Copies of this chain bind each other. A is one copy, B any other.
Amino acid sequence: MATITYREALNQALAEEMERDPDVFLMGEEVALYNGAYKVSKGLFDRFGERRVVDTPITELGFTGLGVGAAMVGLRPVIEFMTFNFSMLALDQVFNSAAKLHYMTAGQFHCPIVFRGPTGAALQLSAQHSQAMESTYAHYPGLKVCTPATPADAKGLLKASIRDDDPVVFMEGELLYNVKGEVPEDDDFVIPLGLAEVKRAGDDVSIITHGKMVHVALQAAAALEKDDVSAEVLDLRSIRPLDVDAILATVKKTNRAVYLEEGWPFVGIGAQVIDTIQQEAFDHLDAPLARVTQADVPMPYAKNLEKLAKPSAERVVAACKRVLL
Q: How far is the CA of A285 from the CA of B288 in the complex (A)?
A: 11
Contact B298 A104 (CB under 8 A): yes
Contact B99 A298 (CB under 8 A): yes
Interface assignment of A140: CB less than 8 Å from any CB of chain B = yes
Question: Which bracket fits the contact residues of A?
Answer: 35 or more
Q: Which B residues touch A216, using CB under 8 A? A: none
Contact A95 B88 (CB under 8 A): yes
Interface assignment of A271: CB less than 8 Å from any CB of chain B = yes
Contact A61 B89 (CB under 8 A): yes
Closest-by-CB residue of B relative to A128 is: B96
Stretch from A34-42, A50-58, A131-139, A218-226 forming part of the interface with B: A131-139
Cross-chain pairs A/B with CB under 8 angstroms, 27 sampled:
A61-B89, A85-B96, A88-B92, A88-B95, A96-B128, A100-B127, A100-B128, A100-B298, A103-B127, A103-B298, A104-B298, A138-B266, A139-B264, A141-B296, A141-B297, A142-B298, A266-B272, A267-B267, A267-B269, A267-B272, A268-B272, A270-B275, A271-B272, A274-B278, A278-B288, A279-B289, A282-B288
Taking A89-B92, A135-B267, A142-B298 as given, write out 12 further A-B residue pairs in contact, using a Cβ cutoff of 8 Å, ordered by the A residue number.
A88-B91, A88-B92, A100-B127, A100-B298, A103-B127, A139-B268, A267-B267, A268-B272, A274-B278, A275-B289, A279-B290, A282-B287
